[in-house]
Amino acid sequence: MVNGQIFPFEHSVTKERREQLLRQKAVAVWFTGLSGSGKSTIAGMLEKKLYEKGYKTILLDGDNIRHGLNSDLGFTDSDRVENIRRVAEVTGLFLNAGLIVITAFISPFRSGREMARKIAGPGRFFEIFLDTPPEVCESRDTKGLYKKAQSGEIKHFTGISSPYENPLQPELRVNTAEVKPDAILESVFQRIELSIRFT
């Protein structure tokens, strides 16, 4: 109930029934890390692998979401908090539909990631921390965003003028400067495989 007016609607078709129909378990695979750490690349590879294995997925990518659902938000700390709050809620909706949700967002604050974990529910959230050194991220930056941030042309840039809070206990941590994308993909898939398999 919100303000004594809004009550949650109890659906007769539950998440568990949708999972049974889809023959899979709904989980959220949440990629986090600095800009250029490899989130979108690995997330896209994971989606392709799951699709080819017959799983039903949805990929939520930071840039795409900011062109639509969150196009009204900027990059201040408060806007970043709201960005991830909305994404976490949308993730919860897709989980209720029985889908495997893959997200690729910097999501710089631990509180936002923990909120997403709470919405997903126990055993349904996998935080994948792409712990890539800033200098490596910058070397991959074809758009020149890091240079613009360092010169002050871009404000509130994570890792330069805005903080990034490293995950404390992610389900998987990997340095993409040391491990090749195919090996990272395999590590992520192995980490989630038992949790998405319908038994």
Examine residue 50 and state whether it is found in any structural domain, yes or no.
yes
Q: What is the pLDDT of residue 141?
A: 87
pLDDT-derived band at 3, boundaries 50, 70, 90: low
Sign of the dihedral through C-alpha 180, 186, 191, 195:
positive
Decide if 89 is inside a domain.
yes
Assigned domain for 3 exists: no
Contacts 24+ apart (CB under 8 A), 131-135: 131/33, 131/37, 131/166, 131/173, 131/174, 131/175, 132/33, 132/34, 132/36, 132/37, 132/38, 132/175, 132/176, 132/177, 133/175, 133/177, 134/34, 134/159
pLDDT, position 100: 98
Tokens of residue 157, six digits: 């840039």
Residue ranges making up the domain that contains 21: 15-196
Q: How far is CA 166 from the centre of its chain?
A: 14
pLDDT in the model for residue 10: 77
Summarize the confidence of residues 73-81 as an average pLDDT: 94
Residue 37 designated active-site: no
Whether residue 1 is contained in a domain is answered as: no
- pLDDT above 80 for 2: no
User: Sign (positive/negative) of CA torsion 112, 113, 114, 115?
Assistant: positive
How many structural domains is the chain composed of? 1
What CATH number is associated with residue 144? 3.40.50.300
Annotated catalytic residue: which of 78, 107, 139, 195?
107
Within a domain: 8: no
Residue 36 pLDDT > 60, yes or no? Answer: yes
Query: What's the mean pLDDT in 102-122?
Result: 97
Q: Residue 6: inside a domain, yes or no?
A: no
Residue 2, in any domain of the structure: no
pTM over 0.85: yes
Residue 182 domain-assigned?
yes
The share of the chain scoring above pLDDT 70, in percent, equals 98
Q: Is residue 180's pLDDT more than 70?
A: yes
Least confident of 3-7, 33-37, 160-164, 188-192: 3-7
